[in-house]
Amino acid sequence: MPDSLDPIPPRQPMPTPTAAEIKDTAEALTEMLRLRTLPFGMKLFEDAAEMDKVPGLRKPGQGLHFTTCQLVTQVRTAGFTLGVVRDNLRPNASCGANIGLEPVPEGLASGEHMTGVWFENREAAAAHQAQMPRVPAGRYSGLCASPLRSGRLDPPDICLFYATPGQMILFVNGLQYRSYKRYDFTITGESACADSWGRALSTRETSLSIPCYAERRYGGVADDELLMACPPDEFVRGVDGLKALAKNGLRYPYPPYGAFADPAAGMSKSYG
pLDDT at 198: 97
Pairwise pLDDT comparison (7 vs 90), residue with the higher score: 90
pTM equals 0.92
Helix, coil or strand: residue 96: helix
> Once rounded to an integer, what is the mean pLDDT over residues 115-133?
97
The CB-side HSE value for 95 (13 A sphere, CA atoms) comes to 24
Q: Across the chain, what does the average pLDDT equal?
A: 93
- Statement: residue 1 has pLDDT above 50: no
If you count them, how many residues does the chain have? 272
pLDDT at 11: 53
Residues 138 and 122: their CA atoms lie apart, in Å, by 27
pLDDT at 13: 59
Q: In this predicted model, what pLDDT tens digit does every residue of 12-35 receive, in sequence order?
A: 556 889 989 999 999 999 999 999
Cβ burial of 155 (10 Å; 0-12, 13-18, 19+) is buried
pLDDT at 80: 97
What's the CA angle centered on 108, arms 207 and 69, to 5 degrees?
45
Q: H/E/C letters for each residue in 16-30? A: CCCHHHHHHHHHHHH
**Minimum mean pLDDT range among 4-8, 202-206, 260-264:** 4-8
- In this structure, which amino acid lies at residue 159? C
Residues 45 and 13: their CA atoms lie apart, in Å, by 23
Q: In this predicted model, what pLDDT tens digit does every residue of 32-90 receive, in sequence order?
A: 999 999 999 999 999 999 999 999 999 998 888 999 999 999 999 999 999 999 999 98
**Minimum mean pLDDT range among 63-67, 100-104, 194-198:** 63-67
pLDDT at 12: 59
46's CB contacts (< 8 A; 6+ apart) are 139, 140, 141
Element spanning 241, H or E: helix 232-247
Q: In this predicted model, what pLDDT tens digit does every residue of 241-258 receive, in sequence order?
A: 999 999 999 999 999 888
pLDDT at 91: 86
